[in-house]
Structure 1
Amino acid sequence: MLDNLAAFFSSGSNIVFFVFALFAIGGAIFMISFTKVVHMVVAIASSFISLAGLYVLLNAEFLAFVQVLVYAGAISILMIFGIMMTQHKGEEEEPKRMAHQVLLVLGTLGLFGIIFYAVQSVEFPTSDVEPVADNTLEIGKLLFNQYVIPFELVSVLLTVAFIGAIVLAKREED
């Protein structure tokens, strides 16, 4: 098992994958651990950017660009606007319990160990599929030919959700 670990870290792309994966998981953990909403937004934005880095490693540059543009940019800004439009009262933080912290760390390490062992012991099948030279062109063809109706329905749904969020925020003001 340690031979697999040494072989894994012998490649530069695997080391970059490990760093991006750590930042993605760390951002998600910090997102649910922080109590201040602005800190949560920064943590989830770092997780989004790390996922974009993982997309680049998978040669999906278009998805990485969309991930940074839509999620790291637009969703984070939308969260910050939501924070600014709503009222937040200063609430007292609950006292931290050391036993819960220790159990959390032990559980996380145990889960990581189980997942690491499972991934190391599995033989992944290889495929002879050749990657497409221009994946952005292929995504565009699929999106605007085969999946044009779901694409338009999602855009209408997002517009209605945004208008609903504005109406709800205006009601809170009154």
Structure 2
Amino acid sequence: MLARILALVVMVYLSTGCVGVAVVGAGAGAVMADDPRSFGTQIDDENIESRALRAIRDNNEISAQSHVEVVSYNRVVLVVGQTPAESYRTQIGQLVAEVPNVRKVYNEVKVTVPRSALTAMSDSTITSKIKSALLVESEFPSSNVKVVTENSEVFLMGLVTRKQAERATEIARTTNGVEKVVQIFEIQES
């Protein structure tokens, strides 16, 4: 039944001309089933991310001088990166907040020079280590938590219980290279 629903969704997207559809297989269906967000919310999150990035890129002055990433989970948006001016940082937050379906924006863009390629690689390694540790955790499905690392600062987003938030935070804090952990969790009562 799930396979038929996913096939239908893919056909609808293809018929509307959306080329950003990922290949949907049994693995993707399993991840979607484990995700505490509804399918519609997952689609909203993807749309929010792409629309927010497009709005930032459309502002040539900001996009030429800034490095920005946008992550949405349950319509809560985290914006990280670097920009050379506080006015750009403020504008970035406003552009993201204007995207349809956004419930809340955490603007964590820093006013500084863009991170180096070496720092970006280190951040990617930190994220991978944390995600791997979360995968082997029996406390909760890893799809409940999104991990974003920027300049050794780890942001944790997701729909979790208080106990799960504590465990995910502990995993992140004890990961080599992490300087700070920021919780952007929505706590669900268990």
Q: TM-score, normalised by structure 2?
A: 0.29
Q: Which has the larger radius of gyration?
A: 1
Bigger share in strand: 2
